[in-house]
A and B are shown apart, each in its own frame.
Chain A
Amino acid sequence: MVKKLYWMISKDLLSECRSLRVWPAMLLLGVVVALMFAMQADLPPERLRQIVGGLLWLTIFFAGTLALDRSFAAEREDGCWEGLLSYPVSPTCVYLAKLAVNVVALAALECVLIPLFAILTDVPLLAHPGPIVAVAVLGNLGIAAAGTLLAAVVNTGRQSSYLLSLLVLPAVVPLVLGAAEATRLAVEHDFGPSWWRWVQLLAAFAIIFITAGIVLFEYAVEE
């Protein structure tokens, strides 16, 4: 299982590195949205500290949706989908591989956007890297878990490109809210019970949606 998972993840990452189909567009969209948010958010530093978490996570979500939407597009467009399904691996393994690739894509996006937001808004997002990384990892897992499952669902329809955001955004409302609040508290050096509560919510979201993905993915990709 681990070996098959490794090969499937390598296949997707190698394919992306060679073709550069999605990641450059995703990173560029993230940078453009970040610039536009920073341009509009011309506020006093105290006020900016309160909203920068929300702006950051909305940017990650919207740019990340590009990667989520294209999770299954390459196989569909190149006619390899049936081949992938007939490959002797369980649907769970396919889901976990796609999830891992999306986590890597979102991590790359966060590596660009978090320093960029810190520079553009002058908010010390990286003053405490540990808590910010913890929030980013959990938020990343949650968005990728829900997004990969729902991308598999909409991928069989006619309107996948615009419908995914419509489906994923309401589903990740608690996650975006939790990540934004945890980021705000981290920026304000407040690591009390309130911060832990949001981190626990992020962890619960990730666990619930990874489990749901493992259970439901085989129904989503059934032909």
Chain B
Amino acid sequence: MPETASGRGFVGYLGYAAVAVMVAAAIAAICLLAPTEETMGDAQRIVYIHVAVAWMGLACFIFMAVAGGIYLARRDLAWDHWSRAALEIGWLCCSLTLITGSLWAHAAWNTWWTWDPRLTTAFVLWAMYSAALVLRSGVDDPHRQARMGAIVAIVGALDVPLVVMATRWFRGVHPQSPHMEPAMRVVLGISVVCFTVFFTTLLLLRRSQLRIADMLEDMECGGLPPLSETAGDFPRVLEG
């Protein structure tokens, strides 16, 4: 059995299987365990996924800015791998937040979109993630790419509180603390934990992938990395 990027053989696959089981359990809890809401019906179940991906999107954004700041201080590309992985996973989560939010808004408010503070903040976050992705794709030098990514991430992190304030003063219809039955809160908790584990696993995998891609590029350029650095990361298949 080949070694995986972030774990060794059987243990690695066992970890992935556990994550898959957690996601399946979360979906089962959402569909079967959560009580049906009286006014919205089954459409309310979207909220369990929406909250989980929205939280992950914001967490990735903050993590990206922190990793970017550490990169600027230390100039270690390892931190840029974290920052870039967080950017990509954050973009995915933010896109899912907008889609699930829009579906929920249509069911709850009979409109696909409203300029509510949190929706607007999610949209601004998504636009910044997208611009950062496009910006990075236009630069070949990894250090220059890392610097640009870090600056955009920090600017975005500084901007988010102002966006929240401005849009909250402007108008707001988003439920501040929606009423939920205890069973609903339990399912929401399960969903948030399971999807956080799932997206964190994706983040770790993507970070490993970026690190290996960088190592391969170094090898192609003639600068072979020390064996101790590569031993834990390369699949045995490559060694053959």
Q: What count of chain B residues pass the 8 Å CB interface test?
A: 30
Given the known inter-chain contacts A197-B169, A208-B162, please indicate yes or no for A156 contacting B155, CB distance below 8 A: no
Distance between A201 CB and nearest chain B CB, rounded to angstroms: 6
Contact B162 A174 (CB under 8 A): yes
Of the candidates B72, B134, B155, the one whose C-beta lies within 8 Å of that of A171 is B155
Residues of A within 8 A of B151 (CB): 149, 153, 216, 219-220
Q: Give A209 to B158 CA distance when docked, in angstroms.
A: 8
Contact A153 B128 (CB under 8 A): no
Contact B150 A177 (CB under 8 A): no
B124 at interface (Cβ–Cβ under 8 A)?
yes
Distance between B1 CB and nearest chain A CB, rounded to angstroms: 42
- A192-209, CB under 8 A of B: which get 1 and which 0? 000001100100110011
A36 at interface (Cβ–Cβ under 8 A)?
no
Contact A178 B154 (CB under 8 A): no
Contact A212 B131 (CB under 8 A): no
A66 at interface (Cβ–Cβ under 8 A)?
no
Residues of A within 8 A of B135 (CB): 153-154, 157, 159, 163, 167
A166 at interface (Cβ–Cβ under 8 A)?
yes
Contact B72 A219 (CB under 8 A): yes
Q: Give A120 to B232 CA distance when docked, in angstroms.
A: 68
Is the contact region of chain B dominated by helix, strand, or loop, or is it mixed?
helix
Given the known inter-chain contacts A150-B155, A197-B169, please indicate yes or no for A220 contacting B147, CB distance below 8 A: yes
A158 at interface (Cβ–Cβ under 8 A)?
yes
Contact A174 B163 (CB under 8 A): yes
Residues of B within 8 A of A45 (CB): none
Is the contact region of chain A dominated by helix, strand, or loop, or is it mixed?
helix
Residues of B within 8 A of A178 (CB): 166
Q: Interface residue tally of chain A, by bracket? A: 20 to 34
Given the known inter-chain contacts A170-B127, A174-B162, A209-B158, please indicate yes or no for A153 contacting B152, CB distance below 8 A: yes
Contact A157 B155 (CB under 8 A): no
Of the candidates B130, B138, B156, B159, the one whose C-beta lies within 8 Å of that of A159 is B138
Contact B131 A163 (CB under 8 A): yes
Of the candidates A167, A173, A201, A222, the one whose C-beta lies within 8 Å of that of B131 is A167
Of residues 137 through 178 on chain B, the ones whose CB sits less than 8 Å from some CB of chain A are 138-139, 144, 147-148, 150-152, 154-156, 158-159, 162-163, 165-167, 169-170
A181 at interface (Cβ–Cβ under 8 A)?
yes
A85 at interface (Cβ–Cβ under 8 A)?
no
Of residues 60 through 85 on chain A, the ones whose CB sits less than 8 Å from some CB of chain B are none
Q: Besides the contacts A163-B134, A212-B155, A216-B154, what 5 more A-B pairs have beta carbons closer than 8 Å?
A: A154-B135, A154-B148, A159-B134, A159-B138, A163-B138
For this complex, 6 residue pairs linking A to B, each with C-beta atoms less than 8 Å apart, are: A150-B152, A156-B139, A174-B166, A177-B167, A201-B169, A204-B162
A→B interface (CB under 8 Å): 146, 149-150, 153-154, 156-159, 163, 166-167, 169-171, 173-175, 177-178, 181, 197-198, 201, 204-205, 208-209, 212, 216, 219-220, 222
B→A interface (CB under 8 Å): 72, 120, 124, 127-128, 130-132, 134-135, 138-139, 144, 147-148, 150-152, 154-156, 158-159, 162-163, 165-167, 169-170
